[in-house]
Structure 1
Amino acid sequence: MRKQRNIILATFAAATFLVGIGANAGSHAGSAPELAQDTLVTEERAPEHSIVDEVIWVVGDQPILKSDVEMMKLQGEMEGMTWNGDPDYIIPEQIAVQKLFLHQAEIDSINVTEAEIAQNIEMQINRWIQQAGSREKLEEYKKMSITQMRQQLHDDFRNNQLIQQMREKLVSDIAVTPADVRKYFNNMPEDSIPLVPTQVEVEIITKQPKISQDEINHVKNDLREYTDRVNNGETSFATLARLYSEDPGSARQGGEMDYVGRGMLDPAFAAVAFNLTDPKRVSKIVESEYGFHIIQLIDKRGDKIKVRHILRIPRVSAEATDSMRMKLDSLAADIRADKLSFEEAATVMSDDKETRNNHGLMSFNSEEGRTSKFQMKDLPTEVARKVERMEVGDVSDAFPMVNEKGKHVVAIVKLKNRIAAHRATINEDFQVLQNVVLQKQRAEFLHNWVVKKIKTTYVRMQDRYKNYKYEYEGWVK
């Protein structure tokens, strides 16, 4: 099956634009996208070799540049993706559709928090770290620091989340009944019934290697220095947060967090933050599950608080990682020798709160709801590599990984169950089949929404883009 590129919206500054488009589009630049369809005036194009960049489409008041398309095409090639058609036409259309959703998100006042953006960026960077083998190898491969990667990803991830939330809002009222599911699949040929991929259930024990006191002292001394510089009037807290904080969600904002209630914060962080009264003072050093912080009050509003903070994360040494691997290898040997069960060990010993309370069983939020049944692609990379070679009941040797909070840990896993790939059945896989029908109905609704939106949106494109058979009708009139 061919995998088609799902465009991540990006914008690039154009060095020069095609002669004529800037002037023709200028009269519409300040207008809302809800305008009558217009026909692009035929332009006299400059020789291809002389064009550094050019506007090829305009959607509402938003240009699509040739460089946008070239960059997306290059990314697709690097990721081994194929196209169901000509990417020079498919990509501009996909970017245009994304702009329609972004415009509607603005109209509907859809918002995403910096915390949401940061969480998704961190998950992406952690996947890259696992693939590269270490932070250092990733930075060498990307030729930029982790901080620079976070900054580069920020706007794309923000736009993607706005689009996702807008799409979810549009289809939120669509539902299917059991009768809808049965009717759909009773009329489907047997060889067309969806294949449910192999699924696994995995239990995990993670332990964080001990961080040396010297490393902790180093981090604390840095935070004390930042406090002294703020108190002495040498610089502002916000400036230091932008320079040194390791919280990607707030560092770009000078360490500033949105108004938040006590229950949304780490308990240790909240205990100090909610006791601050003087915006000019910097808190004592606070240790949370994420690292060490200093905090500055901005405002209190009812039972919510707005603060700035600087986060510093102590580094784990290779020696500490090796020592923890030996301890978990010894624990794995005891479990294999039936001295204790994996579930007992996970409940008592694991550092992972999410799985510890579930006897080590991993789970995640799927489209069908919370489930412990993972497809291999949904598992953390390092866990998937271990599980792939294991039999049901096997316990792995210890291995290092980066968890969802960005911490370096050592883990062992047990393969609890493996469900072989099979054709879906109503009795065994009803949720899977229900989701297929639901996604089909949602896709049809969104397709029709885009077509309707195109009719009321100002769209212009260069003549050479007008003769392609696009997925959505109405771009050209």
Structure 2
Amino acid sequence: MKIVSIVFCFFFLSMSVHVNAQVKKVLADKIIGTVGDKFILRSDIENTMLDMKRQAQGEENIILPNACQIVEQQLIRKALVLQAEKDSLIVTEEEVENAIDMRIRQFLQQFGSKEVLEEVAGRSIIQLKEDFRIQIKEQKLSENMQEKIVEKIKITPFEVRAFYNKISVDSLPLYESEVSIAEIIIHPKANRDIEEYVIKQLSDYRRQIESGINKFDQLVKLYSEDPSSKENLGQFNINRNEKTWDPAFMAGSFRLKEGQISAPIKSKFGYHIIQLISRSGDDAVVKHILRIPPITKDEINITKNLLDSVKKEILANKMSFGEAVNKYSDDDGSKFSGGAVTGGDGSSYVNIDQLDKDMVVMLKTLKPGDISDPQVYQDDRGRQTVRLIYFRERTSPHKENLREDYNRVSQRALEQKKVKQMESWFKEHIPNYYIYVDAEYHGCPELTDWAKVADAIITEKVY
């Protein structure tokens, strides 16, 4: 059954409607699909297609869904929403509000200001929020229903092997040589005298702005060490409920009154002064200047000596590498994976070209099983950082096999099993819904099953 073939591929694309779509509705609109009491308009499909084309501009090898596939995706979502309502699945107003706020913040980042966004959309922020409310609630209900349908789906080693054995040898993917690596990362701490000097500089910037000697934007250009400052002059749209922001930065921002500039605030990135531009409830627009206290050779050497002693303890079997990661590493994200360097697919085996150049150079001196000497390098924020590298393993170029690629195979097998579960669910439930598909789309192969149900309903009415 084809009916859910795109549910996993396009499930999260359906909410990408661009604000321009709010003012580009087709005047002579038309209902082209119905599931129960949920309607799909022709303008919904056309606006989604326009937005996807816009987002794909400049991208290569992007295959966009056609109108038939988008209609199918919309029908799928409507059916899931109906069942979610029947099963009394709950999406709280707080969840919806947070999602709406996140959508608006994305647009504000894209357009630069509230005024520009409202001008382009032809609607106020309040009106845009209301436009998104039903869509977002439906999205969350359908996601929750899909999760409920597949939540008990697990995969066993026997099923993974059976899945793998069905793949023809000629169809098995080829993998280049890959490496498995773990690391312990420590950011050297600046000495207190240097920190005090940076705090004094930031306090002076604040004084200059408040006295009218200089402007905030000019000082951002001259002194801020935030890499994004060149593009946004240190301005951000933040929300109190977002967990991605540094807690000290967030707390300092929301303590301010509009126009007020904070005293220097320490975050995990360095020291800031923050100016509150505007605030509305849990949303705020702020500007900041970031200064990172410079690290001297003394601090780097202290950190190198620490990691050197950690290496000796590991080699003496006094602790494992994973235990050392938990105890010493400043990279919180890797503590649950023993410091593993992971690829975009979450695999702990990565291609050499996915590693930073300093690590590639270091690996040339190591063999599998070795732990490097402490290495000084610049992280992605430009900070002087020190690490130990554990070269766990190197694979040879190979065709996919269960010994080296079990996790990859099991993930694909699990996804296939979930798709089959979704197909089974739709086969059982679609006949229970009132379905209408406009004749314009009856030629879509993706909509064959939906059209059959719709035709059966019409036939029942006739007889």
Q: In structure 2, how many angstroms separate the alpha carbons of the residues matched to 1:370 and 1:160? A: 36
Aligned pair in 2 of structure 1 residues 166, 422: CA closer, same or farther (>3 Å)? farther
SS of equivalent residue, structure 1 residue 290: helix
- Structure 2 gaps, min length 5: 1-5, 119-123, 190-194, 208-236, 256-279, 312-324, 364-371, 456-463
Query: How far apart, CA to CA, are the structure 2 residues paired with 1:137 and 1:87?
Result: 26
Structure 2 residue identity aligned to 1:139: G
Instruction: Kindly indicate whether residue 164 of structure 2 is the aligned counterpart of residue 180 of structure 1.
Output: no
Specify which of 100, 105, 110 is matched with residue 84 of structure 2.
105
| Equivalent residue number for residue 169 of structure 1 | 148
Counterpart in 1 of 2:112?
139
Aligned counterparts, 1:80-95, within 5 A: 80=59, 82-83=62-63, 87-95=66-74
Aligned-residue offset at 1:87: 0.6
For residue 400 of structure 1, the aligned residue among 381, 391, 400 is 381
Q: Would you say 1:317 and 2:282 are equivalent positions?
A: no
The answer to whether structure 1 residue 359 and structure 2 residue 329 are counterparts is yes
Instruction: Report the AA paired with residue 439 of structure 2.
Output: D
Distance 2:99 2:188 in 1: 23
Instruction: Tell me if 1:341 matches 2:307.
Output: yes
2:228 match = none
How far apart, CA to CA, are the structure 1 residues paired with 2:435 and 2:338? 41
Q: Secondary structure at the match of 2:377?
A: coil
Equivalent-residue separation in structure 2 for 1:186 and 1:10 (angstroms) = 38
**Are residues 193 and 246 of structure 1, via their aligned partners in 2, closer, same or farther at CA, if it must alter by over 3 Å?**
same
2-side partners of 1:315 and 1:341: how far apart?
Answer: 37
Report the Cα distance in structure 2 between the residues aligned to 1:178 and 1:215, rounded to whole angstroms: 62
Aligned counterpart, 1:64: 40
Q: Please tell me whether the aligned partners of residues 363 and 373 of structure 1 are also in contact (alpha carbons under 8 angstroms).
A: no
How many residue pairs match? The answer is: 333
Structure number, greater radius of gyration: 2
Q: Structure 1 residues 428 and 456 mapped into 2: Cα distance closer, same or farther (>3 Å)? A: same
Separation in 2 of the partners of 1:207 and 1:4? 43
Could you tell me whether the CA contact under 8 Å between 2:238 and 2:286 is conserved in 1?
Answer: no
Give the superposed CA RMSD: 5.7
In 1, distance between residues paired with 2:299 and 2:37?
62
1:158-195 alpha-carbon deviations (Å, 9 max, x no partner): 54443333212111222222222222223432343456
**Secondary structure at 1:443 match in 2:** helix
The answer for unaligned runs of 5 or more in structure 1 is 18-50, 130-134, 218-244, 251-263, 265-286, 295-307, 346-354, 402-409
- What letter is aligned with 1:397? Q
Q: Which whole-Å CA distance do the structure 1 matches of 2:39 and 2:298 have between them?
A: 60
1: CA distance between counterparts of 2:308 and 2:102? 27
Structure having the higher helix fraction is 2
SS at match of 2:250: coil
Match of 2:250 in 1: 290
The verdict on how the C-alpha distance between 1:431 and 1:387 changes in structure 2, with shifts beyond 3 A counting, is closer
Q: Provide the rounded CA distance (Å) in 1 between the counterparts of 2:414 and 2:81.
A: 24
Moved more, 91-100 or 449-458: 449-458
Give 1:122-271 correspondences, 5 Å limit: 139=112, 143-144=116-117, 159-193=138-172, 204=185, 212=202, 246-247=238-239, 249=241
Shift of 1:207: 9.5
**1:423-456 deviation line (CA, Å, top 9, x unaligned):** 4432333333222222111111102222333222
State the match for 2:403 in structure 1. 427
Aligned residue for 2:216?
A: none
Other-structure match for 2:295: 327
Once the two structures are TM-superposed, the CA of residue 387 in structure 1 deviates from its matched residue by 3.9
Partner of 1:459: 435
For 2:308 and 2:115, the matched residues in 1 are separated by 39
Letter in 1 for 2:251: G
TM-score scaled to structure 1, two decimals? 0.51
Measure the CA separation in 2 of the matches of 1:309 and 1:451: 46
TM-score, structure 2 normalization: 0.53
Contact kept, 8 Å, 1:10 with 1:156, in 2: the verdict is no
CA distance in 1, matches of 2:409, 2:172: 9
Q: Is the 8 A contact 1:455 1:474 kept in 2?
A: no
Amino acid at match of 2:32: I
- Would the aligned equivalents of 1:76 and 1:82 in 2 still touch at CA under 8 Å? no
